[in-house]
Structure 1
Amino acid sequence: MARKSERVGRGKCPMCGDRVTFHRTAGGMLNYECDADDCGHNGYAHVGGACEKKWLRSIESAPGPVAAPVPVPPGDPQNPPLGATANARKSATLLG
């Protein structure tokens, strides 16, 4: 049984600018087919080719949920963390 193509993301059609969904085939090629009634353009790009790189840059969103970044608490310059290197602790004590 053949593997279905994987959804890579959505971007603009290189011909008409309407939104299209880019897919990656089992062989690694990137493809799309425009759903606009007046366009219907489709295309394939080989792995590592200039066209593939251009299309990947144009992708607006990747599939799946995007995790929110974890906030990092500010550090105390007077008391470096225990995992700090010896040079960082030494320079902190020389400055303070």
Structure 2
Amino acid sequence: MTDVHCPVAPGVARPQQPGPIEPRTNGLAITAFVLGLLGFALLPVALGHIALRQIRRRGDAGTGLAAMGLVLGYAATVVYAALVLVVIWGTIRAATS
């Protein structure tokens, strides 16, 4: 006697349910991170803030990339500002000696 309650024949694989859909990574977050790695200062900061806003609104992935883009962008801004101050200080010092 066969089992009439078995919807799938023995030995036949049951169809798999699709898994949860992963959110896509925000493109501006990726761009902010890459530009921060390349040493840009203002672009990663602007793009990082925009990316974080988009991530909150859309539910995209990439918060860490946007945050690192911000950190690298702000760090580059501080380094470049310090270099400008050193050049100005050296120019003033050379002009007064």
Q: Which has the higher contact order (CA 8 A, sep 6+)?
A: 2
Give the TM-score, by structure 1 length.
0.21
**Going by fraction, where is strand more abundant, 1 or 2?**
1
Structure of larger gyration radius: 2
**Going by fraction, where is helix more abundant, 1 or 2?**
2
